[in-house]
Amino acid sequence: MAEAERIIGTPDIPEAAGDESAQSGSDSEETSEETAAGGRDGQRDEAGTGGRGKRKIAVLFSVAVVAYALDLISKMIVVAKLEHRDSIELIGDWLRLSAIRNAGAAFGFGEAFTVIFTCIAAAVIVVIARLARKLYSLPWAIALGLLLGGALGNLTDRLFRSPGVFKGAVVDFIAPKGFAVFNLADSAIVCGGILIVLLSFRGLDPDGTVHKD
């Protein structure tokens, strides 16, 4: 009898089934843990990207507010203290402060198209606001902030100064020798535009990616 049992062998099914069930349960737990870990990593990455985007948007609007405030305050002072008065020489006749009203674009160009330039400035503001949602680059945030602040500064003049809404004349007062008279809003727009050109040449996009043509 003992010999027959040795030859046939005693089945060990319950123990084997138990081992397989335990192993299967262990694998399932590991898979669940890996999935959960991957989900947490994805949430952290998404949160980190969103945080960086919000910081860049904050930089954009902070730069815009500073540029706009400086332009607005400087124009108020010029209108109150300098308009209808003699020019002030800062560096001999090379740089003067002289208040004028400009119905055209930046640096006095296109005075016959005041309404068109007003609409263009408003469109630029809308485009920058929409682009801000995909902004992840600090240099681009600064550049767009300068553009936004400058556009808002001159748009304020066109909306609220005489001779009327959409036809208002912009206050210019910085007068270099041999050059057109301009204001701080014009300077912000030009600086922002130059920075955008440099960033484009470097292949840096507003979303932070770098490409080479």
- Positions annotated as catalytic residues are 172, 186
Q: How far apart are CA 180 and CA 110, in angstroms?
A: 13
Supply the DSSP string of 182-207, one letter for each residue.
Answer: B-HHHHHHHHHHHHHHHHHHHTB-TT
| Residue pair 125/197 in contact by the 8 Å Cβ criterion | no
Tokens encoding 148: 């936004």
Cα–Cα distance for residue pair 153/126, rounded to 1 Å:
15
Compute the Cα dihedral for 20, 25, 26, 30 and give only its sign: positive
| Torsion region of 168: left, alpha or beta (phi above 0 gives left; psi -120 to 50 gives alpha) | beta
**Tokens linked to 134:** 């995909």
Find out whether 208 and 200 touch, Cβ atoms under 8 Å: no
